[in-house]
Structure 1
Amino acid sequence: MAARKIHTLIVGAGQAGIAMSEHLSAVQLPHLVLEKARIAEAWRSHRWDSLVANGPAWHDRFPGLAFPDTDPDAFVAKDKVADYFEAYAAQIKAPVRCGVEVLKVERGPGGRGFRIDTTDGLYEADNVVVATGAFQKPLIPQVIPADAGFLQLHSSQYRNPDQLPDGGVLVVGAGSSGVQIADELNQAGRKVYLAVGPHDRPPRSYRGRDFVWWLGVLGKWDLQTPAAGAEHVTIAVSGAQGGRTIDFRRLAGEGITLVGRSGAYQNGHMAFADDLARNLDRGDANYLSLLREADAYIARHGLDLPPEPEAHVIIADPECVSRPVRDLDLRAAGIGTVIWAVGFERDYSWLEVDAFDAAGKPVHQRGVSKEPGIYFLGLPWQSRRGSSFIWGVWYDARHVADQIVTQGRYTAYDQSARARQAAPESAIHAAAGDPDGPYPHPHL
């Protein structure tokens, strides 16, 4: 069967793919979105049952649609988020084909365009937008042997406490996912150990405003690069239980045993680094710094927001911090499950183009790849700190769409120039008499 031709092919129909479709439609570029499962599938089947969005409904959405029948300050449940993206795709009439997996993307014959092999046959496209995001392949470190007798799950495989065998749980990783899972298991009556690495922990809210508002008015969403050494620092923030500030010492007081970063495993014992207190202190410093900036902003602008002095109080270290566990016999501690909440690995094995560095990381400028015609969307820090959030990816998609249009105009000029060089002189003069020219300025 002959390959089907399309101007721009978008791989993935999550929030990035739907945003990309909207902006390509706005500039009237023909495109197609291929999704191997369902629209926003990750929200439905790759998250735990009780997950809610980390930002309030007024903030974590696209500009063109509010969450229906939802308090603007509420944290939307995961299935409702997935429903939102399905409704948005329908609203913008996004050309999405579900159940089609992209198997390989390579340069087309003669180096022009791309040849895309899928489970539904071959496609040819001038451009390919990789909208698969950053969360592609769950990372489970090869630390505990598979035959050690423990159930090992990635956080994306966890659903609820009843899914796990009886016994305690070690949760490795204290970002948003790890903290929420550990808290849920603790409340379900499980004995929980939580390995805490370096992290930032903003206040969920302060002086009547959610932290997303504070990051906005303080200009922090628009930071273009993370601070030196903070590229892989996790953010401990949650919308669970209506939203509350994550305080690791409070979690310890509620029964969770905190430990430092996980280390080697040997003969049933897990080692932990002697860095727990330092990691908590670093998180506290980040937290208190934002409070001080917020106080200064309120004073400078004369805002009538109620003082919250109790938010500045850091509670005393629990015993698990002052006398940290450095070596844990997992069996003796009653642990039967280890949940790895340590993120994801990149998997672009299907993308056979020169768009990556030696480590397999995309090389791009705000989503525009070093490989002409290849674009990325949904990457952390793609253009700014907010790029990983629902609203942030929408603005990044607008920029990528603009760049596709711009590059298309350069290509159109090249084709026109070649045609003029091969055309009779009379045809060249006729084209020159066109006030718009055969090739509009690429930035108009």
Structure 2
Amino acid sequence: MFENLNERLERSFQLLKGQGKITEINVAETLKDVRRALLDADVNFTIAKSFTNTVKEKALGQNVLTALKPNQLMVKIVHDELAELMGSTQVDINIEGKPSVILIAGLQGSGKTTFSGKLALLLKTKRAKNPLLVACDVYRPAAIDQLKVLGEQIGVPVFADIESKNPVKIAKDAIKQAKANGNDLVIVDTAGRLAIDEEMMKEIEAVKKAIEPSEILFVVDSMTGQDAVNTAKEFNDRLDFDGVVLTKLDGDTRGGAALSIRSIVNKPIKFVGTGEKMEALDVFHPSRMADRILGMGDIVSLVERAQDQFDADEARKLQKKIAKNQFNFNDFLSQISQIKKMGNLKDLASMIPGVGKALKNVDIDDDAFKGVEAIIFSMTPAERETPTLINGSRRKRIADGSGSTIQDVNRLIKQFDETRKLMKMMTKGGNMSQMMGNMGGRR
């Protein structure tokens, strides 16, 4: 996410580092390079120019020229302005009403249906909502089936009417059913449409008028760059939507949409999709995104993801097992499962300051744990429960059963033993208790 922009900005700030004397010319050169970096990231030219002009004014007003570490002060100013550009503060979704109704709009292929499922899961698990998904895409043949599959996957009912080709009727009927069945949230997934298609735009305006949604979200594929921003403006002129959703931010995106869209439509970015998994949806925080763009990581979001997956009671039980040296391969498997649910592994690593840069050219596959899991699943229940049972002959059997080598098995057992020792040391020092408490503190 934003790797190229991060690298270019970092290079720009290097212009101020190690200079014998910092001058207004140095600052101007740095900001010229920052502007180029933003333009290369597909940020709107007017916005990029205005951004660097504002940063220059603030930089010279905050005595960058006389600061002991001018490049660090410049990074701070750029960070604050990036956050401001993306909306400054996080804006919550409006889910008031009985039921509250959320209308999803966007171009074809922007990821609306998948987002609808992700949003239903997020609001179900984090806000204790009882959602109903509504299939109002009557044009794409597989749209209804896709939403039904997602609904089944996350345990959320789906309202669909395969006989009707009228999305207004479908949406109104769905709201009636939601009221009858006690669903307090209705998410209406609509067909993808082009802003230039007058008939389709009139259709979604009619849906909006008929159901009076409490929230309208416009879904944008981040990888379409500046075109996404232009499309957002056209949709906003017709729908006056409440917020923007950026999907596919985990892809090879240049980030221009995230940086430009708030200024163009004057509507907040509310969510970002960060992967294919149903849990891979984050609430958008401008300041945290600015941290990530500048390579500072995002520890707060990482901890929040951990809090969502790690149960406080389970953490305490695990701590007791570690203290008694009873941590085993079943516990290890459980920890792997929870980490995998937190999202894309490279994305998680990039949230740790400094790690994202170190892993820039390293490909971390989401199946990175597959080999480890295969080895553990090849162990008998007794071996998983009591790792000390695993002698030479057992290691050979485990290697054969998992399609790996004895060296692979030996390496895993060695790493497991080292991890167990480290965890026990942390427990003795009290750090493990604090860490587990923080992870499970929300439950």
TM range (shorter): under 0.3
Structure whose residues are more often helix by fraction: 2
Q: TM-score of the superposition, structure 2-length normalised?
A: 0.22
Instruction: Report 1 or 2 for greater relative contact order, CA contacts < 8 Å, sequence distance ≥ 6.
Output: 1
For normalisation by structure 1, the TM-score amounts to: 0.22
